[in-house]
Amino acid sequence: MSADGTGARALVRGRGPYSAPCWSADGRRVAFIEQGSVMVVNADGTDRRRLMDADPGLAWSPEGRHATAGRRSGTWEARRQDPVPSPDGLHLVRSARLGIEVAEVDDGQGRRVARGEYPSWSPDGLRIAFVCGQCLCVVGADGAGWRGLKEGAMECQPEWSSDGSRLFFLGRPRTYPYDLCAINADGTGSRRLTGDAVGVEAFVLSPDGGQILFVGTRESDSGREIWAIGADGSGQRRLAGAEGSDCHDAAWSPDGRSIVFVRRALPKPGGGRRLPPPTEAPSPPRTPEEEAAEARFQWATEIASRAEDGDPIPDPQVVAVIGLLADPDPGVQAGAASCLASIARKEGAPSRLLKTASPRLLHIFEEGRRSSKPYLAEQAARALYEIGPGSNEAVPVLTEGLRDRNPGVRAASAMALTCYGDRAKPAVPLLAGGLRDRDAAVREACAWCLGEVGPGARDAIPDLIAALRDPSPEVRCRVSRAIGYLGSAARTAEAALRQALRDPDPSVSEAAGKALERLKEDRAIGTSLGATDVPALLNSLKDGDADVRRAAAVLLRDISPAPEVAVPAFAELLADPGLRTVAAQALGDYGPDAAAAAPRLEALLAGTRVFWEERQEIALALWRVGGRAEAVVPMLVGHVQRATGDELHHAAKILRELGPAAAPAVPALIEVLGDREWQERRQCAIEVLGRIGPAAEPAVPALVAMLRDTLQSTRVVRALRGIGSRAALPALIAASQDERVLDRWSAREAAKRIDPSVQLPLAW
């Protein structure tokens, strides 16, 4: 259709589903995806043909002659991970494990410039907009000049205006859906562009930057619509979408005069024409056998959840889970294997009992590979890893797993082989080859296993040295660690490890330093680091190279010199944004001996230009140093009330460590329990209340009301047990016998802990 919404016509008709339409550079053709195939059609609807298989995610070459298909570039989740080229095409920016990384296209080596996600280049390629927690931020492409533009709401998908003077983004001040917002690049003039009636799902700027196309939703309509609005917020108008249809995946033509989008018909109430994607067809009713298998799977999943949460699993239940490995349903077998892995992972697990499952798990591993059920083989291998080494017969079976076509099976096989140490030496050739696997998880697992084999893996040293240049920081980190365990034979890797000390990823430089330290201890290089090296490390903290400072700070933290020497040095490092987290962690480890640093920690906690992760580490350090809960609890509770993801869970983790000292947070946590839109926040609030203990008794009524919540019942029972209030006893007794409560066993144990005289029948 035209950019004004007129002249809409169908280029392609059929059942679909269609997605990701993308114009060629000359505007003459449109590429799109139909049922997993890349298709192309002329802009007038003629000459439709198939090109290749692909995942959803398309781009044309600049000259318009080639269409490429790759990862899901059109989705927000992919926007957080996929590399984004700079305007000059010489650099890439991506959201990595430790933050925003910038890499040159030629060498692919990334350097971290900030913590965050959703990176977006400015038109001149000198700045990067991104989101950190709940803050919209900008940083220079070289990592300098970081500043926060807007904080306090949920922001994502920042995009620059064509002249680089403004940023457009999706903001969510309260709940879904998002609003389309704009802000000046200097942080002034923040405003919402769209009205209350329409929520925004995704948007794209026109080629000239004057108009914005967005996919909108209205409460009154079931389907999505295509809308347009001026970049100044004027002229909001609906272009496409009507009752009974769903429109999405809109894109401008290169000249900005036409728009291509996907429209599908929604089912009509009471029958009529239906054009849903095949994947939306209703599932056939389950048979009684399938229902029974689902119940067994859910039971195993519940046991696994309890084990992960630290609850002891009685031996009879462990035996019952092992029995499920012989279940006729492969899904139940996989669930049982996963459950056994969760049980084995916890301290005090019944290792002898669990090892009786190893032969059956090995059989399931082989059967899963033979029957093309990679999920089954992968879960069995992961369970074997958690349970620990069994007979040597498993080594050749797991070694063959390294040849599997499925990367998950290859990675799990390498993980399981780590348990066998030098007994896995026959697998070294395949493990060395696995360092060049296309899948990063496989490369990481193979490096890990080679380190566990130890000196017997000396033949893989050249491959490990080459892998220190792997594009994945996780792999480089694991390779560095592995080299440190190969003994004197790894002497040839010394130069490569010293080079890795300057790796832009702090985890890699830290691992390389520790590997060199281990090799020194093996007398392969010289004497080990110790108190005599502290002056040199303190001097390195003033080095002009940020990577050298980071490596010195990490090594100094690990050596833990006397407080009178280290505390002033780490207190000074709090002023360095790149080392603030390491410094706070080190000061927290010194506890009351670092009390002199408390004023600096408090000043940082009160500041506004501190990342959420750094702020939480500072709060934890301040608690450990001075025990002043009143200085940290309000900030942490605010994160539990507003944050999501890692920010939320890390704040809750610190509050759990505070335990009874977090009692002032109880009223706010009770409010969070009522937030039904954010189960993640409710979960964290429940766990913190349980750790606070008796002081959280005011929360008992709200917790009791959640006992039948299938998503939270296990955590609620554990929280009530931690609070220990007799007011919860009647509800726990009733829950222990109520078939609608999933975890009746835990309810029974919680009631007995509150009142040991309670006698209740077993409820599995």
Structure confidence by residue, pLDDT tens digits, 25-70:
677 877 777 766 667 788 887 877 765 544 434 444 344 444 433 3
363 and 433 both lie in a single domain: no
Q: Is the pLDDT of residue 86 over 70?
A: no
In a domain, 180, yes or no: no
pLDDT given for residue 176 in this prediction? 53
315 and 343 both lie in a single domain: yes
Q: Is the pLDDT of residue 427 over 90?
A: yes
Q: Mean pLDDT over residues 564-581, rounded?
A: 83
Q: Is the pLDDT of residue 275 over 70?
A: no
In a domain, 307, yes or no: yes
pLDDT tens for 707-743 read: 877 667 778 888 898 898 889 888 888 888 776 665 6
Q: Is the pLDDT of residue 146 over 80?
A: no
Cα dihedral across residues 667, 670, 675, 681: positive or negative: positive
In a domain, 556, yes or no: yes
Q: Which of 446-455, 606-615, 713-722 has the highest mean pLDDT?
A: 446-455
Determine which of 212-226, 343-357, 580-594 has the lowest per-residue pLDDT on average: 212-226
Question: To 10 degrees, what angle do helices 713-723 and 744-754 make?
Answer: 10
Determine which of 153-157, 547-551, 555-559 has the lowest per-residue pLDDT on average: 153-157
The whole-chain average pLDDT of the chain stands at: 79
Residue ending a domain, among 627, 650, 679, is 627
Band (pLDDT 50/70/90 cuts) for residue 343 is very high
636 and 761 both lie in a single domain: yes
Phi-psi map region of 572: left, alpha, beta (phi>0 left; psi -120 to 50 alpha): alpha
Q: Which of 27-41, 163-177, 351-365 has the highest mean pLDDT?
A: 351-365
Angle at 64 between CA 60 and CA 68, to 5 degrees: 25
What is the rounded end-to-end Cα distance, in angstroms, of the chain?
A: 61
Q: Which residue type sits at 506?
A: P
Band (pLDDT 50/70/90 cuts) for residue 432 is very high
507 and 562 both lie in a single domain: no
Q: Which residue has the tokens 């792997």?
A: 470
pLDDT given for residue 124 in this prediction? 84
578 and 669 both lie in a single domain: no
620 and 633 both lie in a single domain: no
Q: Is the pLDDT of residue 283 over 60?
A: no
Band (pLDDT 50/70/90 cuts) for residue 482 is very high
Q: Cβ atoms within 10 A of the Cβ of 599, count?
A: 11
Q: Is the pLDDT of residue 415 over 90?
A: yes
pTM above the 0.85 mark? no
In a domain, 192, yes or no: no
pLDDT given for residue 527 in this prediction? 39
Q: What domain count does the chain have? A: 5
- Token pair for 69: 């298909």
In a domain, 116, yes or no: no
Band (pLDDT 50/70/90 cuts) for residue 276 is very low
Determine which of 4-8, 353-357, 393-397, 635-639 has the lowest per-residue pLDDT on average: 4-8
708 and 642 both lie in a single domain: yes
Cβ 563 vs Cβ 586: under 8 Å: no
Residue ending a domain, among 612, 627, 642, is 627
pLDDT given for residue 362 in this prediction? 94
Determine which of 149-153, 375-379, 495-499, 537-541 has the lowest per-residue pLDDT on average: 149-153
724 and 643 both lie in a single domain: yes
In a domain, 458, yes or no: yes
In a domain, 197, yes or no: no
539 and 585 both lie in a single domain: yes
514 and 542 both lie in a single domain: no
Of 522 and 674, the structure prediction assigns the larger pLDDT to: 674
Q: Is the pLDDT of residue 181 over 50?
A: yes
pLDDT tens for 746-761 read: 778 788 888 888 776 6
Instruction: Write the CATH number for 636.
Output: 1.25.10.10
Q: Cβ atoms within 10 A of the Cβ of 576, count?
A: 15
Length of the chain, in residues: 764
pLDDT given for residue 81 in this prediction? 43
Domain residue limits at 670:
629-764
pLDDT given for residue 145 in this prediction? 66
Residue ending a domain, among 588, 608, 627, is 627
In a domain, 665, yes or no: yes
CA distances from 46 to 10, 21, 122, 260, 659 (A): 11, 16, 37, 15, 68
Closest to 97 (Cα-Cα) out of 84, 110, 107: 110
377 and 294 both lie in a single domain: yes
- Token pair for 106: 């030629």
757 and 643 both lie in a single domain: yes
